[in-house]
Amino acid sequence: MSELASTPTLDRLERRFSDFATLGEALDYAALGQRGLNFHDMRGRLARPYPFSEMRTDALDMAYRLVSHGIVKGDRIALVAETGTQFASLFFGCVYAGAWPVPLPLPTSFGGKESYVDQLSVQIKSCDPKILFYPPELADMAGDAATACGVEGLDWDSFADRIPLKADLPSADTDEICYLQYSSGSTRFPHGVAVTHKALLNNLSAHSHGMQVNEHDRCVSWLPWYHDMGLVGCFLSPVANQVSTDYMKTEDFARRPLAWLDVISAADGTVISYSPTFGYDICARRISSQSHVNDRFDLSKWRLAGNGADMIRPDVMQSFVDAFSDAGFKASSFLPSYGLAETTLAVSIMPPGEGIQVELVEETELTGHPGAPDRPVRYRAIVNCGKAVKDMTIEIRDENGAPLSDRVIGKVWCSGPSLMKEYFRDPESTDACLVDGWLDTGDMGYMSNGYIYIVGRAKDMIIINGKNHWPQDIEWAVEQLPGFKAGDIAAFSVTTPGGEEAPAVLVQCRTTDEVERAKLREQIRDKVRSVTGMNCVVELVPPRTLPRTSSGKMSRAKARNLYLSGEIQPYAVAA
């Protein structure tokens, strides 16, 4: 049996930077060349090359099967986003059939079946699909979610065994919806971001120009395909920009993170590979006991080491450089970026070669709270996230919507052709953030000489290890315990003494018994862990402690500021 060969980096097909009217046209063109996708096993070894030409054939067959099954233009098709050929062909099969693919998450290692079924069910109800497709091994969990929602559930292997009966496929218009992307993973308040073909292809063109993609580049990725950076940046972009790509499954990266670097080392050509901060952190920690990294890795070919999806920590990036410089990794390869699903993906990208640039900002400037006169002065390192990508405009505005000058912190607004069309079937949320062709990102930042610096992520979002967590979900989990009600809990992120981000939960407690309080803390920790998979800081506070807004809602932002300033005093933990 001959050894498997990856799809080539170089190709005689003239590269087009996503200048297509629809995503289907993009795959039609990519299929004329020899490049494609390559799936690797948990040790980083090539398991399945998948040329774009083969993917197009499979996608058209999937489209014929979908049409034969009764799927019509505009139907939503939910797909559990497992990294592999079946999801890839089904996603594009939906596009060819005029349906809207909706990537949904895989189960995590925590929470169990019930938690996963609940998460899928909420997103299924939100997008209202005709079918939920899933890998055969998830038939039990995903099938239960489909049944609970009254949606047809099908494992994609058995569907792929059906004979594809050729049929007329609908034509697509550039202004029509291409897919729905869930922006946060929220289990209670899902936002289905509706992205048109035009918006998608504009952003794919913009970020390929921003990264200065060339004929020697290939992509390497372990990012999940239900996240915008993984789906758009590392799956759809390689198709629309004709870039061969090497994949590891996310769960394989979690078990063997250094295999990611093995794949990069073996790549034929220069490499573009993205990760949230925690991916670099894990690798640097794993290698700490090994001294001869150059014996195993060759990272000199890693041209762009992208960083996005969470707050970029300069200390972690430096640790990665310290760990892997002997293997040829260059600090100038780091490529900080800023983006969100509501803009399809990229808003800003650092010009290649400029690396990570940091400014120190006094903490009170970031919070807007001056603090006590005698408090120690503390600074936070803010990373430069680059310049607006092609066709994107960024503004910093005050609370009244007025533009602010350079180096003044305010709300980040952006405008361009790649903004989402809407939150699916949620006009109220859409109108709250889309105003006169501008998107209120909800993030805080400032501009300096054309570069954007992000100082805080969207609204009250808690981001741990690159994963977004809605505080409402944590609060809701605690509310399920006996004796608590809405308004008793405030969740937000804090920085631990070790410099790590962690969720903190303030809970109004009515019992005075210290033994009971100790039990409550453990119950709350266990409940939050079951929902989010994270360990949290639990603080019990007296009744009527949590601040409220003028409309009577609990204010997380104010609760966090009062807690950090010491004005909210939790009950002491018994020794």
pLDDT of residue 3: 82
Distance (Å, whole) CA 499 – CA 328: 28
- Helix H, strand E, coil C: the string for 111-131 is CHHHHHHHHHHHHHHHHCCCE
- Spatial strand order in the sheet of 501-508: 489-495, 501-508, 537-541
| Token couple for 543 | 């009744």
Angle at 115 between CA 113 and CA 116, to 5 degrees: 65
Distance (Å, whole) CA 210 – CA 337: 10
406, exposed or middle or buried, with CB in 10 Å at 0-12, 13-18, 19+?
exposed
DSSP H or E segment with residue 158: helix 156-160
Q: Which residues have a Cβ under 8 Å from the Cβ of 374 and sit 6 or more positions away?
A: none
pLDDT of residue 338: 95
Q: Which residue, among 78, 54, 82, 50, has the nearest Cα to 66 in the 3D structure? A: 78
Q: Is the CB of residue 294 less than 8 Å from the CB of residue 328?
A: yes
Q: Which residue, among 381, 408, 379, 382, has the nearest Cα to 395 in the 3D structure? A: 408
| Token couple for 344 | 């399809």
Angle between helices 514-532 and 112-127 (to 10 degrees): 60
Q: Do domains 358-456 and 470-565 have the same CATH topology?
A: no
Q: For 238, left (φ over 0), alpha (ψ -120 to 50), or beta?
A: alpha
pLDDT digits (tens, 9 = 90+) for 307-346: 987 778 888 899 999 999 999 999 999 999 999 999 999 9
- Beta-bridge partners for 272: 219, 304
pLDDT digits (tens, 9 = 90+) for 500-536: 778 899 999 988 888 999 999 999 998 888 777 778 8
pLDDT of residue 556: 84
Give 470-565's CATH code, choosing from 3.40.50.2300, 2.60.120.10, 3.30.60.50, 3.30.300.30.
3.30.300.30
Instruction: Please report, as a single letter, which amino acid is at residue 294.
Output: N
Q: Which residue, among 126, 339, 305, 152, has the nearest Cα to 221 in the 3D structure? A: 305
Q: Which residue, among 564, 480, 405, has the nearest Cα to 114 in the 3D structure? A: 480
Q: Residue 322 CB: number of other CB atoms within 10 A?
A: 14
Q: Which residue, among 349, 328, 230, has the nearest Cα to 279 in the 3D structure? A: 230
Instruction: Please report, as a single letter, which amino acid is at residue 490.
Output: A
Distance (Å, whole) CA 257 – CA 134: 26
Q: Which residue, among 560, 558, 561, 538, has the nearest Cα to 547 in the 3D structure? A: 558
Which residues in the chain come in under a pLDDT of 50?
1, 185-187, 550-552
pTM of the model: 0.84
**What is the dihedral sign for C-alpha 30, 31, 34, 39?**
positive
How long is the chain?
575
pLDDT digits (tens, 9 = 90+) for 2-23: 589 999 999 999 999 999 999 9
Q: Which residue, among 134, 87, 101, has the nearest Cα to 247 in the 3D structure? A: 87
Q: Render 365-403 in DSSP notation, one character per residue.
A: HHHS----TTSPP-EEEEEB--EEPTT-EEEEE-TTS-B
- Tokens 């009577």 belong to 552
pLDDT digits (tens, 9 = 90+) for 258-307: 999 999 999 999 999 999 988 998 999 898 666 789 999 999 999 999 99
DSSP H or E segment with residue 539: strand 537-541
Q: Is the CB of residue 13 less than 8 Å from the CB of residue 34?
A: yes
pLDDT of residue 216: 97
Tell me which CATH code domain 358-456 carries.
Answer: 2.30.38.10
Q: Which residues have a Cβ under 8 Å from the Cβ of 89 and sit 6 or more positions away?
A: 55, 58, 59, 61, 62, 160
Domain ranges of the chain: 358-456, 470-565
- Tokens 């489209």 belong to 63
